[in-house]
A and B are shown apart, each in its own frame.
Chain A
């Protein structure tokens, strides 16, 4: 278990210190949100209508950023060999990597989103649901991303391959996440969408580490 925590701590440290880590994910997320009013014009009604979708699209893209750093450098510098020989099962190692990726992407974005809500005129009543939906959904995005990252270790600089692999699987999160926020904004009950979002996330957190570990074992040959 000590190995599990040590791996999370090390990956978070790397995520915070590396360029292209946590700060970049947060900045990228904020930039997308800031750019939208320039593209769509400042009308409150338009912005309010698209805000839930924009926030979730921004979250999806921002969480993609750190994925290339998740396993590729470890495969290149030999850390992955040590992980495979470690007493920690590879599935749990993948889970630790997912947790560290989430802490340096999805978690930060969830905290940042409420501060950006006024830029898109999101209804005040929907702000808590925005943060909650991101907190519930983004762990699943990291888990799915881990599978893509694991498959990507066999491809040098597989950044685009990674995005193409991972993005379609993220669509359910986008649908349920955005509709939960939209429901809250329109005065409807967001509970149902949030439940589906949580279900997607939990499923991804169970399947993701297993699939990622299997992909890492396959890659060696």
Chain B
């Protein structure tokens, strides 16, 4: 079911295409300030955004405002300052993902030692694979022992001072060679971040290309290091996702149940809360308080984590967080880290809704802090649920839950994709490669990234996704972008009707939607693994840069997106951002390095294209060029084998 086709709530239709959010905004009639209102009230700083010159505040001689024809007090040029600022943003993005990964690595060790109540090793096979990738001996060792060593090894990887981190070996050999040649194979992400901070300090690295090479190295440490560790360990502890059915949007809130929203990015406490939400005692307690039950839903990437593994409904993405509170139906919103608007603190004051922060890294004025310390999962989860139940009777004023929801299918992990294409005995990516070679699938495009209040919510995501599937490009998604198309019914298998003939035939054969949900934003590392696997499967070149694939972040907002965009580009993928500009727009020098320069070095680039249709055309052109280079742009005669040809077969 999908009833989110048509948002005609003027004037909100320019703010969001999501009818549920528009309905809430209309109800509120501007009584309460939201990010949408603030975006209208406050323009963004043109210097900060890099459209018109750039601002350097790395020393107290400044801030210096520098344009093409001026320099800072120290003589820093536009290009240098632009590169330095970008590098620092990438460092911040990489730090966010990787610190998340570090916490999971730590948790893996605690789980192995039995010191993290409520957490256990659920996917042993994946643990073995992960351990092997870290160069750990498996043999017939005890699972816990392997897990402990994997945890230690993963933790040490963050601070690795020399050499190459192990996980880059997942990349095709040709790709590793390119990185090696350009001296960007990362050491530990901590070291790479520190080095960025050092190099961008006043009076250190002043050559834009050199600064950006370090930014690439740092981003790779995120994608093939910190983020990948986060994904892998999340799978180990909470199971590798498999396809499942769910529903999305604000319509999944329940008027007669205790509504608890989980928001942020970490899977840990949220998984435990989901588990306890069906605890009999708590459910009975909820009933004693007049509620029919406990309804757990999510927002942002914590939502994606528990969607992928438990089928919990994501009620919205980044820009839905305020609207969710404004339904008046939420007893409690529990948040961990990243993308949590400070505005929630004030907004919840207008409702009975309790805002609970749980990470020592993230406290918010106006919120109740109940710290998750790895060892207190079950008690804390119960306490939080109980607090929500107790709050049920405190609802004030009118409840407004928009009757808007859509079905979706999620759970497309790398492992599941292999399974769904061949079953238990023939699992592989062969059918995907063959479909690409045959042109049934023209290419694969990752449509990822955030919402941005300066742009109509979800509009670009849906535009590019729809246009791509129509033209036989398989779309894979993560993060807020994934929720953005799910909300409009594009992630159900029935959506194959929007796909071109070729893609539709694959959707029919496999039983998949034309758009695959691959997880949270940290799970972009899954896409790297799949791309490496596609190369290994054969028939589409020797390196990721040969593949007819691209990445798009059409409504990007966070520094994490800049880190992702950079590691994807440096992994050999053409990557385009739209919506707000990448803060390098005023420096042709830096733009050139990131486009032509990186293209030459890494076979991929990061480019900002404001016009979304132009971006779409560019992506399609790039992919078609790759198809041409692979000589799969034209239909080929089928190869018929006689005995002599069979004798010449070398494999199997």
A and B bound? Answer: no
Footprint of B on A, CB under 8 Å?
none
Footprint of A on B, CB under 8 Å?
none
